[in-house]
Structure 1
Amino acid sequence: MAKRSQLPLTALRAFEAFARLGKMSLAADELCVTHGAVSRQVRGLEALCGVKLTQGPRNALKLTDAGERMACSLGRTFDELEQLFREVRAAADRELHVSCVGTLAMKWLIPRLPGFHARHPDLSIRVTEAYGPVDFTREPFDAAIRLAETVAGEGLTATPFLDNFHGPIVAPELAVGGLDLAHTPRLYTRSHRQAWAEWSAHSGIPIPPEPESREYEHMFYLQEAAVAGLGVGISPWIYVANDIAAGRLAAPFGFTATPARFHLVLPGQPPKRGLKAFREWLIEEAATAPTPPPSRARESLTASAGG
């Protein structure tokens, strides 16, 4: 592909504004520069073109024939560019790009998005899986959802919208008659091997040494491993509420609250159109989330002892 020549875009814009408005002072006001800056750009453009584009006294400049041709072409071009820019920006305004922890996106957010789209048919939500610290200056997201005790970052606005509860999950057949933690393989995710220790600390329930451990890359892998009867793992309640209701999983020890909550994180600058509606909808949806079964400490202590 042939290399495009270096067009003097600043000079062309200055000349187009002068030709359209008829005065250097008006062009300067529109472009937020000085009268002299516009004049220098026009003179420079004439030098590059090798032809006079204006004629007459400095306080009553008129376009030459060459200037008229260039002004007409530039006017059409800038009109088309402005229209294209408006269309692209309007399309971008209609799409909200949300980064979200993967399992919440799969198990809770995405299944509820039809309700949001029905209420706001002019908006579209694009979801990308992400887990790290939120930095809107480096990543192309309009909003983020993270599970954390607090969300830190200069200029960020974090709204907690959903409490977090966690507890052991297992295939129903393994929970019949009480789950023996001392003899059931323990499931972990690679990025959160401390999940069992955290659950023990939050619930006050001691856990016996593990007989065997199995590690998985993601939380949704761990959940499917539990469904398949490969062991018992720790999961947030909101990720497995539907599976427990459907009988795919059991939670023999119930769920206990954690200090962490799900937060909607927005940038500090004025948020993109539609984010206010998304935040309000998210809070409404969270308010309808099912309540987890409470932690059953006595049963758990018996099971932990292998009883």
Structure 2
Amino acid sequence: MPLPPLRTLPVFEAVARLGSFSLAAEELRVSQSAVSHSIKQLEDNLGEALFQRGGHRVVLTEQGRQYLEPVSSGLAQIERASERLRGDGGTELRLAVFSSFAVRWLIPRLPDLQRRHPQLEVMLEMLHEPPALSERLADAFITIQGEHRGFSSDPLYSERLFPICSRRFWQWMCDDLRQAGLIDTDTPEHIEAAWLTRYPLLSASSIIGQPGEDWQVWLAADHCELPGSIRMQHFSHMLMAHAAARYHQGIALTNDYMIDPADDPDMVVLPCYQVGTGDEFRLAYKTSRRNEPGIRMLRQWLRQQAEASGLRLEGERERQTRL
């Protein structure tokens, strides 16, 4: 049976991964009309519509979704085989990871990976939202996505949220709570969730999705509500809410990988409960590549680092409220 026009397959994969003809054209360094022509040529050859067009984005049809996996896998295998023949494969691994996880947890630990596995070169690709898993984007992913056809994954961290503030702000809080008769010690072992609404709260929409929703959900776990008079400052990302907390502007919610109190004496984890978000960070990789040396070394190292740093892994027993 004759093959489809081979030059159209990388174009199809790029459009499917990026969800856009214009973005695919930019990545492939061709015109948008050339991309449209290639897709039409491929669809005519197959006798099937691969995309639904509408607005600025395109969506795969059911036939397109079925076609994407073998095409993406085949292109990646050709790419790796070519690298091996050129003598430049086997030591580089592209890892796609959320920017906050990379900046606050992964990058500080990379020297240990380089020391243990000097032959392995990891190139980081920053993610701003959960990606479509594809070997054309990266060899491995740290993602919160669940099962994906053709991919396996290892659990790294079950996310939980808890409040933090600067040490100066904490001291001021304790003075205020003591004057209000709510505590009788300089360093309380526990404070009530409702007491936090007396102070400015720093909200990050990247945690849950809507401004203020992170605090609404966290307080609801203790049957509390946000009062109408609450002082709340909104940020698009947890990193910015962290920076505001560091500069004594209020109380922010964070998770385990964003802060290590032992290495950050200027910040205080408030003695309150913790709330699980239901998001589980996992290392995802192509199942057919699980025994490749680079993937195997990265899997083992990430698991060891997650355990050593105290991240909560799948199956651990912990008191956690699910959202």
Correspondence for 1:274: 294
**Conserved 8 A contact 2:257-2:311:** no
- Out of 108, 111, 114, the residue aligned to residue 114 of structure 1 is 111
**Conserved 8 A contact 1:136-1:267:** no
The CA deviation at 1:137 is 3.1
What per-residue deviation string (whole Å, max 9, x for no partner) do you get for residues 58-109 of structure 1? xxxxxxxxxxxxxxxxxxxxxxxxxx95567543421111111111111111
1:132 counterpart SS class: coil
What per-residue deviation string (whole Å, max 9, x for no partner) do you get for residues 104-154 of structure 1? 1111111111111111111111112214334233752111112x3x61322
Correspondence for 2:17: none
Correspondence for 1:223: 242
Gaps of 5+ in 1: 1-83, 296-307
Correspondence for 2:126: 129
**Conserved 8 A contact 1:165-1:238:** no
The CA deviation at 1:168 is 0.9
Return the alpha-carbon distance in structure 2 between the equivalents of residues 291 and 145 of structure 1: 14
**Conserved 8 A contact 2:83-2:89:** no
Q: Does 1:288 align with 2:308?
A: yes
2:100 counterpart SS class: helix
Match runs of 1:24-35 below 5 Å? none
Return the alpha-carbon distance in structure 2 between the equivalents of residues 276 and 103 of structure 1: 24
Distance 1:232-1:96 versus aligned 2 partners, 3 A rule = same
Return the alpha-carbon distance in structure 1 between the equivalents of residues 219 and 305 of structure 2: 30
Correspondence for 1:169: 164
Correspondence for 2:198: 183
Gaps of 5+ in 2: 1-80, 178-190, 313-317
1:125 counterpart SS class: strand
What is the aligned-residue identity percentage? 21
1:158 counterpart SS class: strand
Correspondence for 1:28: none
Distance 1:279-1:291 versus aligned 2 partners, 3 A rule = closer
Correspondence for 1:158: 153
Match runs of 1:36-75 below 5 Å? none
Correspondence for 2:269: 251
1:274 counterpart SS class: helix
The CA deviation at 1:212 is 2.0
From the CA coordinates, give the structure whose radius of gyration is larger.
1
- Out of 212, 217, 237, the residue aligned to residue 256 of structure 2 is 237
Return the alpha-carbon distance in structure 1 between the equivalents of residues 203 and 120 of structure 2: 38
Root-mean-square deviation (Å): 2.9
Distance 1:261-1:254 versus aligned 2 partners, 3 A rule = farther
- The TM-score with structure 2 as length reference comes to 0.56
